[in-house]
Amino acid sequence: MEYSFNGLKVFTKGNKNHKPIIFVHGFPYDHSMWDNQVDTFKGNYYCVTYDIRGLGKSYIGDGQYTMEAFVWDLFSVIDELHIENPVLCGLSMGGYIALRAVEKEPERFAGLVLCDTRPESDNNDGKVARSNAIDKINVEGVESFINDFVPKCFHNKTPERLNDMYEKTFATTKKQNSVGVKGALIAMLSRRDTTNSLKDISIPTLVLVGKKDALTPPDVMQEMAKKIKKSKYFVVPKAGHMAPLENPEFVNEKIEKFLEKNFTNEK
Ligand code: MLT
């Protein structure tokens, strides 16, 4: 099913009476990065994806986004679909949203899957890099930024090993709107640090990171996992920063075991 709520494009697959999983995509991608996981889990779970504002088919507006607004959007998806106690699964920027959402309103969620993300906010160098990226988009256009950024997200062998997926992802991403991409950069640059609240996360949490993730490397993710009481941490072979796309077999197996162990199919 496809829905539009508050300018957000929302997609659901599976039986609404099954345990809900909400997948939140990374930057500068869209909901389709979770296609493989949705196809795998739609038989036993109610799978929800959506395009974060400014990206994919969601509303773009003036690009003045904040991480807080991204979290309000997530809450609005949950409320509009009348979802109870979902498992929240976020990759990278989707993980920033998930961590802030759980920090803000922990009682809403039953479990957490954090892929290739981090709790720390941007440091000074990170803020400068975001500013440079915005400048590059202003001067050279969004495609030039995407051409530089997307290859950094993948393991260096992925373009050859999974050429169709890589080219399709690249082509979709190049179509993103420059105002939306810059807005997401500003939202990430100005986001709150969630490190201090990791110790308060009491729901079962799965932490997955690509072995060759250059943006949120395994040591960063392992430190994060250590601070979350009920967490399980796995390194995903043959993957960079986009583990669910680069090694879906491994990622799906870990998610499936995590779901089976912690949740029943019924709500
Ligand atoms: C992402 O994959 O969402 C981005 O790499 C996040 C970031 O740039 O911090």
Each residue's pLDDT tens digit, 138-174:
999 999 999 999 999 999 999 999 999 999 999 999 9
Q: How many angstroms is it from 92 CA to the middle of ligand 1? A: 5
Mutate to test the pocket of ligand 1, among 27, 96, 136, 192 (most ligand atoms within 8 A of CB): 27
Q: Which of 186, 188, 189, 191 to mutate to test the pocket of ligand 1 (most atoms within 8 A of CB)?
A: 188
Q: Tell me the mean pLDDT in the region 164-185.
A: 97
Instruction: Write down the pLDDT at residue 218.
Output: 98
CB 199 within 8 A of CB 229: yes
User: What per-residue confidence (pLDDT) applies to 95?
Assistant: 98
| pLDDT value, residue 70 | 98
Q: How far is the CA of 266 from the centre of ligand 1 (A)?
A: 33
Q: Name which residue sits closest to atom 9 of ligand 1, judged by CA.
A: 93
pLDDT band at residue 110 under the 50/70/90 scheme: very high
Cα–Cα distance, 103 to 84 (Å, whole number): 17
CA of 215 to the centre of ligand 1 (A): 7
Q: Distance from the CA of 27 to the center of ligand 1, in angstroms?
A: 5
Residue 86 CA to ligand 1 center (angstroms) comes to: 23
- What is the pLDDT at residue 118? 98
pLDDT tens, 30-75?
Answer: 999 999 999 999 999 999 999 999 999 999 999 999 999 999 999 9
The CA distance from 218 to 236, in Å, is 9
Cα–Cα distance for residue pair 125/12, rounded to 1 Å: 38
pLDDT over threshold 90, residue 77: yes
3-state class (DSSP) for residue 113: strand
Q: How far is CA 242 from CA 91, 162, 259, in A?
A: 8, 12, 21
Q: What are phi and psi of 154, to 5 degrees?
A: -110, 155
Helix (H) or strand (E) holding 130: helix 124-140
What order of strands is seen across the sheet that includes strand 205-210? 2-5, 8-13, 46-50, 20-24, 87-91, 111-115, 205-210, 231-236
Q: Which is the closest atom of ligand 1 to the Cα of 130?
A: 8
Residue 265 pLDDT: 55
Return the pLDDT at 215: 97
